[in-house]
Amino acid sequence: MTRLSTILVVIALVVAACGGGATPETQAPAPQQTAAPEEPAAPEETAAPEEPAAPEEDAVAFVVVGERIRFDVKELRVKAGQEVTVTFENRDSGVPHNFAVQGPQGIIKTDIANGPVTQTLTFTIDQPGTYQFICEVHPTSMVGELIVEG
């Protein structure tokens, strides 16, 4: 007798729970909708400080490694008028290399020097086009393209 009454109570609770659960479901989505628009506000605050970084587009820097008589980079892509700095690392001990760009107005280059040595070359090319960069000692094996976009 007590078991039966217990079962009835459990059934009654389950029915009550199911019936009561129906109405909260319709109310639940409302708070989520109001909470969502608040999140995009935070990224806007962090995005603002990035805008002053625009001058970076006027200058670009690359590291080119010369090792085993090869450049580790075959293509450099820059913009016309952009100041380009190439840091050239000659890692071939006792082997002479340099970094030379055959630009529209002549060659721009570092001195030929035995490795290991690190050299820096800074230049600006105003005329868009595709130019070669080479090592003057090994122009057939150490060669790549400098693409200057307009």
Whose Cβ is closer to Cu ion: residue 84's or residue 142's?
Answer: 142
| 135: nearest Cα among 63, 71, 68 | 71
Whose Cβ is closer to Cu ion: residue 60's or residue 137's?
Answer: 137
Smallest distance, Cu ion to C-beta of residue 66, A: 6
The contact pattern for Cu ion, residues 73-102, with x = CB under 5 A and - = no contact, is: ------------------------x-----
Q: Residue 137 interacts with Cu ion (CB under 5 A)?
A: yes
Residue pair 100/71 in contact (Cβ under 8 Å)? The answer is: no
| 121: nearest Cα among 142, 107, 100 | 100
Residue position matching structure tokens 């580790």? 72
Residue pair 105/80 in contact (Cβ under 8 Å)? The answer is: no
Whose Cβ is closer to Cu ion: residue 116's or residue 128's?
Answer: 116
Contacts with Cu ion, residue ranges (CB under 5 A): 97, 135, 137-138, 142
